[in-house]
Amino acid sequence: MKKSTIVISGIVAVVAISLVAIIVLALGSIDQVRGGNGDVISFISLSGTIAEGQDASLLSAGSGITPKFVRDRLEEANDDPAVGAIILKIDSGGGAVGASQEIAELVGKSENPGVIFAGDTVASGAYYISSQADKIVAKRGSLVGSIGVISQIPDLSGLMDKLGIKLQTIKSGKHKDMFQRTLTPEEEVKFQALSDEIYNQFIDDVAKGRKLKRAKVEELATGELFPATTAKKLGLVDILGGYDTAIDTAAKLAKIEDPIVEEYRPPGLFNDVFGSPGIYIRDLIKLKVLGSDLMMLEHLRANYGTPQYKYDGGL
């Protein structure tokens, strides 16, 4: 073996051993600092559309907010004796009804005190979730609210004709295909009743979570977004402030004098490697693979046709 090869191998070995030693020491110091006294605040970031599940594909991994992700993170925090409080930073325009309700229940039943830290937008389903926390902290310019339900059924006939796709419907049940075509007047009445029921569930749960009179929430449940300054006056937000304010609020709830903040951010290949531009790159690849028409069809089928706790304001 050449002398130069031996030298290089020795250097690599020394570096590897040093790295292992640093990691071991770091982990040891973290354990010593954290202890088990409940002085840690778990900071969990949630962003994107609320849905029952994520697309398991490589391109979509890590995007959106799901009950499973939130459940796993809350269980980790609640089972850790070092954690005394939890902050959920939410930036979302809402999403699926069932998923929003499930996550809201998880937040409301969390063992540790929970604080919502509002991002740029906490709308509709995202506010549904937030209303069940102990406190809501929002920046003055955060957009909050949009208490309401939206259902949109697109007429895809023109797009289907363009793609050369024809559907032949065979059904058992009078209204089985009601979301695949224009609704009849009778179906519009039925669908409005369905929307109203889900809307009333939203109002009831916000009133309970925020400890507001139902009539008050009903007045605010117009689907309107409010700047956080207004939302605070209306009782939809507790405290105005940023990151430090959210930490202080959680620390006070848990009676932590010197909090240690541990941040958890959802993994995602494109987001981790490229950051925000990764989303742009992902969509470019999907556009190249599917083409604009099929990509639009995919979007319409995924996002329309069922009631949503969602704000679609182009935000």
In this prediction, residue 249 carries a pLDDT of: 98
Catalytic positions, written as ranges: 124, 176
Distance between CA atoms of residues 267 and 44, nearest Å: 12
In this prediction, residue 275 carries a pLDDT of: 47
Chain CA centroid to CA 259, Å: 25
Q: Is 144 exposed, middle or buried (0-12, 13-18, 19+ CB in 10 A)?
A: buried
State phi, psi for 140 to the nearest 5 degrees: -55, -35
Reported as a single tens digit per residue, the pLDDT across 123-157 is 999 999 999 999 999 999 999 999 999 887 777 77
Place of tokens 């065979």: 170
Closest CA to 306 of 5, 142, 47, 99: 99
DSSP 3-state of 225: strand
In this prediction, residue 4 carries a pLDDT of: 52
For the chain, which residues score pLDDT lower than 70?
Answer: 1-36, 54-63, 265-315
In this prediction, residue 26 carries a pLDDT of: 47
In this prediction, residue 311 carries a pLDDT of: 54
DSSP 3-state of 279: helix
Distance between CA atoms of residues 89 and 261, nearest Å: 13
In terms of CATH, what superfamily is 37-310?
Answer: 2-enoyl-CoA Hydratase; Chain A, domain 1 (3.90.226.10)
Residues in the chain, total = 315
Distance between CA atoms of residues 92 and 184, nearest Å: 33
User: Where exactly are the structural domains of the chain?
Assistant: 1-34, 37-310
